[in-house]
A = this chain, B = another copy of it.
Amino acid sequence: MSEAQPTSAMVVIGDEILSGRTRDSNMHHLAQVLTEAGAPLREVRVVADEREEIVAAVRELAGKYDHVFTSGGIGPTHDDITAEAVAAAFDTPISVRDDARAILLAHYGDPEKLTEARLRMARIPDGAELIANPISGAPGFKLRNVHVMAGVPIIFNAMVESLRPTLRGGPKMLSHAFRIPVAEGDIAGPLSALAEAHPAISFGSYPFYQGGYGSTVVARSTDPEALAAAADGLRAMCGALGAKDVTELPPV
């Protein structure tokens, strides 16, 4: 990495992911958004819906990374404990806040619909900023560097859009990928040499199998010129290996 980028981490609160009932999509979406924003995701933890697990993960990741994002556990039912756990992670009081209650009231229209259960969704830690939820009203919040968001993917994605303009991103990480129909075992030697010749570039190699073995080689850098030089090196490598039908996915 030639220039510093802020770093991000995510905590997925998800018994339903851990049981295999649901396949994660929020992590995948956030990873793409944060790569785009120049604040790349460096670690994800998926933890159970248990208070001490959420508290420990939030506390540790908030101390280690610039931004933390959580997904799940902020609805109205008894197993929705994320807001309390995040408040506890920072020893911050939490209670029903007037601004959040007003948002729920505006969403539901009728005060009778603002049941005790739904009012749980207006519980916001002291000092937290609200994160808008244009889908279902109940807001997320940001406490220090931790962004607390819903688990339902359409709501999670909408909250990410609400946040996007505020993300302090660094220079964007560019990546240039080569899909090469040559097995990793035959690429490893020349690729190591290339990595030594381009120390500013991060090279990753990801095998695939599609009728035969192949390797997707990805070069990453925030510096477009260094990346272009690395791409030239990869093309020369493919030529030397006699690789045909190489597909390039140029930097985006």
Is A117 positioned at the interface, with any CB of B under 8 Å from its CB?
Answer: yes
Q: How far is the CA of A118 from the CA of B215 in the complex (A)?
A: 14
Q: Check B18–A40 contact: CB distance below 8 A.
A: yes
Which chain B residues border A203 with CB–CB below 8 Å? Answer: 78-79
**Residues of A bordering B, CB below 8 Å:** 15-25, 27-35, 40-49, 53, 75-80, 113, 115-118, 120-121, 135-136, 151-152, 154-155, 173, 175, 177, 184-189, 191-192, 195, 203-209, 213, 215, 218, 220
Q: How far is the CB of A250 from chain B (nearest CB, A)?
A: 14
Q: With contacts A115-B188, A154-B209 known, what are 18 further pairs, Cβ within 8 A?
A: A16-B218, A17-B27, A18-B40, A19-B31, A21-B177, A24-B28, A43-B48, A44-B45, A76-B184, A77-B187, A77-B205, A78-B191, A78-B205, A79-B204, A115-B186, A135-B209, A151-B206, A152-B207
- Known contacts A32-B20, A35-B20; is-contact A118 B185 (Cβ 8 Å): yes
Partner of A18, one of B29, B44, B48, B118: B44
- Look across to chain B and name the residue whose beta carbon is closest to the beta carbon of A49: B204
- Known contacts A20-B35, A185-B118, A206-B22; is-contact A46 B48 (Cβ 8 Å): no
Q: Which of A23, A76, A187 has the most CB of B within 10 A?
A: A76
Q: How far is the CB of A179 from chain B (nearest CB, A)?
A: 12
Q: Check A46–B43 contact: CB distance below 8 A.
A: yes
